[in-house]
Amino acid sequence: MPGTAAEILKTTRSELAPDPDANPLVPLVASGRASLGTLAALALEQHRVIPADRRAFLHLAQRADEEQAAAGFFTMLAEGEELAAERLGAFMVACEVDQRRRQAYEPLPGCQAYPAYISWLALNAAPTDAVLAITANFATWGTYCARIAQGLREHYGFTDEACAFFDFFAEPAPALDEQAESAVQEGLSSGRLNEKRVYTYGRLLQAYEEMFWTALS
């Protein structure tokens, strides 16, 4: 790995970036070819992912009590999940998902593998290593959300409110990026950052991300 935290973040994001053609669903949404039922399944899966990820991030923040920057990073992520949950409701309504449908829905194993692994990281990973792996994955997620939001507006007639969930994740988050850099620098200074573990975690996260989209498609 290069020496500075900023270089490490840049290199990790680049090396863990997925194949541009690895996501089978986002191009369908972007071009208007995904069914409303598929969009509803996406909403219902996210309805389960968000609270699970929030709890995992809070646990990582608690475990990182000796690493203040990492604790701050995960606290920000948990707060972001709360905001995302508030925005998901309008997308669910636009996809014609009501309470009965939410209660009847059976989640897809391929979609829930990702939050299960986030929970594994919360229990087992060194917080600084988890910061770097999750940051690399979030860069990919943000790109997907931007394309989905555009497709929902252009081809499905969804309102800004219905697209707000995806807009939220598509927007740049400079404060979060700064916190991630501080956390990585903290890990470098303390000697806690482990390059091999980071790439293992990041590779698995990207694989589970691909499973999520493949299961939906």
Tell me which of 3.40.109.10, 1.10.10.10, 3.30.365.10, 1.20.910.10 is the CATH number of domain 5-15+23-216. Answer: 1.20.910.10
Identify the pLDDT of residue 61: 97
How far is 78 from 65, CA to CA, in rounded Å?
Answer: 15
| The token pair that represents 159 in the structure block | 């309102």
- Listed in sequence order, the residues at least 6 apart from 35 whose beta carbon sits closer than 8 Å to its beta carbon are none
Where the chain has pLDDT below 50, the residues are none
128 in Cβ contact with 69 (< 8 Å): no
| The token pair that represents 197 in the structure block | 């573990």
The pTM of the full predicted model, rounded to 2 decimals, is 0.94
| The token pair that represents 208 in the structure block | 């589970």
Other CB atoms within a 10 A radius of the CB of residue 175 amount to 10
64 in Cβ contact with 71 (< 8 Å): yes
How far is 195 from 57, CA to CA, in rounded Å?
Answer: 21
> How do the domains of the chain map onto residue ranges?
5-15+23-216
30 in Cβ contact with 147 (< 8 Å): yes
- Report pLDDT digits (tens) over 190-210: 888 898 999 999 999 999 999
57 in Cβ contact with 122 (< 8 Å): yes
Query: What mean pLDDT, rounded, does the chain reach?
Result: 94
| The token pair that represents 172 in the structure block | 């740049």
- Report pLDDT digits (tens) over 133-152: 999 888 889 999 999 999 99
